[in-house]
Amino acid sequence: MAAPTPVHLPLRVPQTAAAAAPAPGAGTRPRVTAVTAVDSAPGSTTALAGYAIRSTKEVTDSAAAVSSPGYPATGWYPAGARSTVLAALLAAGAYPDPFYSTQQQRIAAADFDVPWWYRSDFTVTDTAARTYLDFSGVISAADVFVNGHRVATAADVAGAYTRHEFDVTGLIKEGTNTVAFRIQPNDPRKQLTISWLDWLQPPPDENMGIVRDVTVRRGGPVALRDAHVVTALAMPSMGSADLTVKAQVRNDSAATVTATLSGTVSGTEAPVAVSRNVTLAPNETKTVVFAPADHPALRLTAPRVWWPATMGEQPLYGLDLTATVNGAPSDTAHQSFGIRDVQAPLNADGDRQYRINGRPLLIKGAGWSPDEFLRWDRTYVEDRLKYALDLGLNTLRLEGHIEPDEFFDLADRYGILTLPGWECCSKWEGEVNGTEAGEEWDDPDYPVARASMAAEAARLRHHPSVISFLIGSDFAPNEEIERGYVDALRAADWTAPVVPAASDTSAPITGRSGMKMTGPYDWVPPGYWYEKREGGATGFNSETSAGPDVPTLDTLRRMMSPAELETLWKDPSAAQYHRSPSRTFSTLRLYDAALAGRYGSPTGLDDYVRKAQLAQYESVRAQFEAYARNAKDASEPSTGVIYWMFNSGWTSLQWQLVDRFLDQGGAYFGAKKANEPLHVQYGYDDRSVSVVNTRNAAASGLTARVTLFDPDGTQRYDRTVTGLSVAGGGASSTALTVPESVPGLSNTYLARLLLTDGAGREVSRNVYWLSTRADVLDYESSDWYYTPTTSYADLRGLNSMKQASVTAAASTTEDGTGTSTTTVTVRHTGTGTTTPALLTDVHLVGAQGAPVLPVRWSDNQVSLWPGESATLTATYRTADLRGSAPQLRISGWNTPTATVRATQHRLE
């Protein structure tokens, strides 16, 4: 297929341009930039509402003119408060939807090889107060102007993560004022910014723009900065916690002043008050410390301790400080924080083992991606975080692309741990990564790196959800770079562990990483995960998965053209634009070979997608199950696994548990099944049936049953074990081992595992499709991204399964607050020895048959035997039905597709 002809930007706002088809997170088209009214109160912080932007190719006026009030920015594009250039142009309808087909190739990269202007007006009513410009998130660098005067050069404002404050009091006038940024083009090979590595096709503008708030701060003669609380939880009792309050006070006046710094810590049984007078010479800065030694109330008894969601509650405290001069407020600060203890020592095998409040925790996580154009949408982010919890994950890794403050606020609230860090394969590791991407560092890069670390440390240190910073990814920094990072972290009172890299390497100061980055990143069979070698379930694997994750047919039709869909199932050697720009991952060759070799060649698009969902369910389930089962092993236990990745920043065919539109397929429900709190599972390596308990409390009086069936439903083996007990906190117990050989068992067979409690209630159900012929791996030929499979398991017998009769009945209740719950009971109506219904999927759909998303299911993709039923619930926003009645689309491996309507009720 020929590449689309690039479309050069029409350098004016189109009068009748059709907006690009919105993707989740895209938001609505920004309005013409409003003038921001700046609050006059001392200590206030006002974010600029947005910008007018235009390429310097089309602006011939001087910087002084462009940055002056009253400049006629006619023909400029509106941009939101946090917006890359391309995000603004997409919102204005300048280009077709880049998430569909190859339309992103139509955007001419040449439009972004020169600087772009960002200008914004704001009004000030009180010029007696001091005024500061405060910001970070400039990609890649910018000259900054206020009211016609340059206040910083691109050499001063460089790096995506550096934070900048400029005192512009002398330039501010009553009425309208203007700030303008001349944003430089981004090249992540040469600058310490953001790139997309091999995750997706990179945006043509390389994310140049301003992606965090630019704020106007007001204050009196004394500025209050860097306010924070350092917490120390008494371990192991957790019976007390010491709080140390710190802040910098700075005299920005030309006279000596005495300020009173006072405030409270809230969230305690009674607010804890602190206060002190500080005398400051002109332009002097002092750090004020309130410690338990001089403020005994800062030693809390019985503190409310913050836990990950699966382990306890998530209480937060608050710090409020005010600096007053002559009785008048001069500046204020607020910070929320949590009390928790995080340790991550290396175990006897040299692997990193996280402990939260003294309790060991298997890190079960995935790699997080923002929107490709870095568009911030709180609702979309919150929906994905709720999905992470729904999947039983406890951690998200952010390799670069470190999200705004609100992301970590949400993670704190939901109890989701985070592992932020710098990214690989770009300038960040250019000094230490040999021949890989990224140029070696020059002298100016070192202060930018240190400033980036200092800014992120100060921003993230108070979030209890942040449990480490990874100062390297694929490579650890050398001593000079590491020293800059470590010094910045220490200066910021960083208390969480610092990890030198996500790979198995060491750094001079922080030592050994205790993590491995052995992959895989492309297809491997389910049994791979059980071997304690390569990427198998031992140690801490910082990024790993079986690669491709083909989304549902609904999503595929939203992201690919009919011709591309035809190629998808017919041609394994074809380059897939929606996979990766990397030559290594450009095709689905390995994945398609395994799909055909194990399940049989696809007969069409529908057949390809249904086999993909089956394959992804078993693969993802095995990955999480293997790491969970091995977590308490006496030798070489697993300590952490990060699925690569949780989501993609665009419409993708790889590395995602959930797709761009928040639809859920086999990968999603395979992970959800593997991570259920009390879980029965099968070991591909030793045929064991184990019970894994990640609840806090032990479980006893359990009964485990395993039954093997031919695909036609003929039972070949059945065994029940009663009186099982398993400790909590991730412990596992082996119930039984399936015989190596079972008489009469077909080459392809099904294993149904049931776990019931003492009252006979089913607490876990798990169904496997297996083969008497194992997948054979050639470990000696392993590459960095996969281990070859020389012989495939025979699962083709599944194709002979007869259609199963499944009925469904559903009802919906709406709670009056905008949330609906649909309850559906699916039943296999067959009798006797009849083919089971394998992986029966229920999709909530609207009037036109499109999925209602997001939705959180209690369970899904269930397998039922004759006479069995399952009751599932789906919770979602009522508004997402768009006024239509909820319907359920039932389908499955051998279940005919049918749609049923749910009766509706409203709770009063």
CB-CB contact of 902 with 857 (8 Å) = no
Residues identified as active-site? 474, 543
Q: Which of 223, 381, 408, 415 is nearest to 310 (CA)?
A: 415
CB-CB contact of 144 with 181 (8 Å) = yes
Q: Which of 132, 117, 138 is nearest to 177 (CA)?
A: 132
Q: How far apart are CA 791 and CA 153, in angstroms?
A: 61
CB-CB contact of 675 with 393 (8 Å) = yes
pLDDT of 228 reads 98
Strands of 70-161, DSSP E:
77-80, 83-84, 116-124, 130-135, 138-139, 142-146, 149-152
CB-CB contact of 638 with 364 (8 Å) = no
pTM: 0.94
What is the SS3 string spanning 8-61?
CCCCCCCCCCCCCCCCCCCCCCCCCCCCEECCCCCCCEEECCEEEEEEHHHCCC
Cβ burial 343-370 (10 Å sphere, 16+ → b, else e)? ebeeeeeebbbbebbebbbbbbbbbbbb
Two structure tokens written together for 622: 């095995």
Backbone angles phi, psi at 309, to 5 degrees: -55, -35
Q: How far apart are CA 320 and CA 2, in angstroms?
A: 60
Q: How far apart are CA 709 and CA 834, in angstroms?
A: 11
Q: How far apart are CA 472 and CA 454, in angstroms?
A: 15
Q: How far apart are CA 800 and CA 797, in angstroms?
A: 6
Q: Which of 563, 692, 528, 533 is nearest to 625 (CA)?
A: 692
Cβ burial 658-695 (10 Å sphere, 16+ → b, else e)? bbbbbbbbbbbbbbbbbbbebbbbbbbbeebbbbbbbb
Question: What are the average pLDDT values for consecutive 10-residue runs of the chain, which has 908 residues?
Answer: 52 31 38 80 95 96 97 95 97 95 96 97 95 97 98 97 98 97 97 95 97 97 97 97 98 96 93 96 97 96 97 97 96 97 97 98 98 97 98 98 97 98 94 85 97 98 98 96 98 98 97 97 98 96 97 97 98 97 96 98 97 98 98 97 97 97 98 98 97 96 98 96 96 96 97 96 97 96 96 97 94 91 95 89 93 97 96 96 93 94 71
Q: How far apart are CA 654 and CA 645, in angstroms?
A: 8
Q: How far apart are CA 488 and CA 486, in angstroms?
A: 5
Return the H-helix or E-strand segment holding 89: helix 85-91
pLDDT of 108 reads 94
pLDDT of 494 reads 98
Q: How far apart are CA 225 and CA 233, in angstroms?
A: 25
Q: How far apart are CA 459 and CA 453, in angstroms?
A: 10
Partners of 510 in beta bridges: none
Q: Which of 804, 797, 895, 900 is nearest to 841 (CA)?
A: 895
Report the amino acid identity of residue 280: L
Residue with tokens 């390809």: 608
Q: How far apart are CA 787 and CA 778, in angstroms?
A: 6
> Concatenated DSSP letters for 396-434?
EEEES-PPPHHHHHHHHHHT-EEEEE--SSSGGGTTTST
Q: Which of 658, 521, 525 is nearest to 582 (CA)?
A: 521
